Amino acid sequence: MQSATATPNDEVLTSADGTPLQVALARATRKAKWRAFWLVAPLLLFIIITFAIPIAQMLYRSVHNTAFSENMPAVGEYLRNNDITDVPGEAAFAALVSDLITARENKTIGSVATRMNYEFPGARSQFTGSARKAKRLEPPFKEALIAIDKDWNSKHLWNVMKRASNPIGGSFYLAAVDMRYDENGNAVRVDAKKRIYVPLFVRTLWLSALISTLCFILAFPVAHLLATLPLRYSNLLMIFVLLPFWTSLLVRTTAWIALLQGQGVLNDVLVGVNILDDENRVQLMYNQAGTIIAMTHILLPFMILPLYSVMKSIPPTYVRAARSLGASSWTAFWKVYFPQTIPGIGAGVLLVFILSIGFYITPALVGGSSGQLISNEIARHMLQSLNWSLAAALGGILLFIIIVLYWLFDKLIGVDNMKLG
């Protein structure tokens, strides 16, 4: 118990019946605390089930893959207990053959082969082909397997298998940053031509920054108008801001396609008034320009609303005061008005930036190949290549970037200062 500084002789403050005051207070407030807890419990449960657990699961999946270790138990056992300094001997190959036979019988050889193929190109056909013939093989298995496919004599493959025998590993994160293990087990960058994800991350960050900047430039005057116009007009303007906000994302994106595509409204008009030749129509869709235009439009309200709410709270007397003190209208804006809008700018930029980093539908529809973002690649691995671990690793990196950005924002502006509306 803390010593109560208010009383002399270091006595503990007590309530009328002699219980220490802090205990009595805790007892008195406990009931209210429990009631409050039960009120928020459904939401808490909902968030845990639909948000916290999936994220934890995703992060776990990005470092945990059992496709090899579970389906190839015998050779897995061997690999876990032995170092691979060279292609191993007959014992390992015997275990491998028995695993191949079981895996083929259990119809799990496909997932094993796919897992190996991530890190050792060509391993898919090598594994499935060898498994098909495994039942008929005679010892010595080493020579027999190598006869089927000479890649079985590759130390690199055995290193890959050794790593895969441990279900926990960072190889997917390595792949997600365009790196791989070489024959000797060192992490190296992949060939410049094969680098996909890092350039895509860079493009995603760069486009997000560009879109945030464009949104800010477009939103600032609009928000200012909204905050300063008489209520009659500002309500109307607000509806214009919110109407697209309430319209389906898909509708808005397809509307942009209809407007901007090669045979779209804009090009037809430009050709119609002879500004453009029919052959030289501007390509504003299915490329980066399409992604930028459509996303800027879609995310604009997320910038306008926080800016508006901050600007609304700045009384016009500040600018008037600055003017009366001798500041030109520019100085009054720049030194007095603008600094007070920074919480809104911070909130808006952070919101738009984080949303655009994870944007999927719009770039998928209008991005073409040059306008794809990292989320499109994550979706591809989720839905098409079924490499969920790599998708999870890419998502994990995205999450990490967002956390870093949030931390940076907190350092620069302070989350307490952020106003979301």
Partner 1 sequence: MSLDNPMVRFDNVQKSYDGKTLVVKNLDVDIAQGEFLTMLGPSGSGKTTSLMMLAGFEPATHGEIYLNGKPINNVPPNKRGIGMVFQNYALFPHMTVAENLAFPLKVRNVSPSEIDKKVQRILELVELPEFGQRRPAQLSGGQQQRVAVARALVFEPELVLMDEPLGALDKQLREQMQYEIKHIHENLGVTVVYVTHDQSEALTMSDRIAVFEDGVIQQLSSPNDLYEKPDNSFVAQFIGENNRLSGSITGIDGKVCHVTLDSGDQVTAEKVVDGDVGTRTTLSIRPERIELDPEPGTVPVNIPGKIEELIYLGDHIRVRMSVAGTSEFIVKVRNSSGRRDLEVGQSTTVGWDPEDCRALDEITT
Q: Give the binding site for partner 1 (CB under 8 A).
A: 315, 317-318, 320-329, 331-332, 335-336, 339-340
Nearer to partner 1 by Cβ, of 317 and 369: the residue is 317
Nearer to partner 1 by Cβ, of 275 and 325: the residue is 325
Give Cβ neighbours of residue 234 (< 8 Å, ≥ 6 apart): 225, 226, 227, 228
- Minimal distance, residue 303 CB to partner 1, in Å: 21
d(CA 8, CA 16): 18
- Minimal distance, residue 290 CB to partner 1, in Å: 40
- Minimal distance, residue 31 CB to partner 1, in Å: 37
Nearer to partner 1 by Cβ, of 294 and 336: the residue is 336
- Minimal distance, residue 421 CB to partner 1, in Å: 20
Torsional class of 225: left (φ above 0), alpha (ψ -120 to 50), beta (otherwise)? alpha
Give Cβ neighbours of residue 219 (< 8 Å, ≥ 6 apart): 300, 303, 304, 307, 348
Torsional class of 286: left (φ above 0), alpha (ψ -120 to 50), beta (otherwise)? left
- Minimal distance, residue 330 CB to partner 1, in Å: 10
Q: 388-412 vs 53-63: helix axis angle to the nearest 10?
A: 120
Measured in whole angstroms, the distance separating CA 377 from the mean position of its chain's CA atoms is: 11
Q: What is the CA radius of gyration of the chain?
A: 31
- Minimal distance, residue 321 CB to partner 1, in Å: 4
Length in residues, the chain: 421
What 3-state DSSP class applies to 250?
helix
**Looking up tokens 């108008």, which residue turns up?**
225
DSSP for 359-376, please give it. Answer: --HHHHHH-TTTT--HHH
Alpha-carbon separation of residue 116 from 65, 152, 387 (angstroms): 11, 12, 12
Nearer to partner 1 by Cβ, of 34 and 318: the residue is 318
SS3 of the chain: helix, strand, coil, percent, to 5: 70, 0, 25
What 3-state DSSP class applies to 180?
strand
Nearer to partner 1 by Cβ, of 30 and 320: the residue is 320
Give Cβ neighbours of residue 156 (< 8 Å, ≥ 6 apart): 120, 182, 183
d(CA 5, CA 10): 7
- Minimal distance, residue 416 CB to partner 1, in Å: 14
Nearer to partner 1 by Cβ, of 270 and 413: the residue is 413
| DSSP 8-state class, residue 107 | T
Nearer to partner 1 by Cβ, of 175 and 336: the residue is 336
Residue 180 sits at φ, ψ, to 5 deg, of -150, 170
Nearer to partner 1 by Cβ, of 114 and 341: the residue is 341
- Minimal distance, residue 340 CB to partner 1, in Å: 6
Nearer to partner 1 by Cβ, of 51 and 338: the residue is 338
Nearer to partner 1 by Cβ, of 337 and 388: the residue is 337
- Minimal distance, residue 418 CB to partner 1, in Å: 15
Nearer to partner 1 by Cβ, of 18 and 339: the residue is 339
Alpha-carbon separation of residue 337 from 231, 240, 308, 316, 395 (angstroms): 21, 25, 13, 9, 39
- Minimal distance, residue 376 CB to partner 1, in Å: 41
- Minimal distance, residue 337 CB to partner 1, in Å: 10
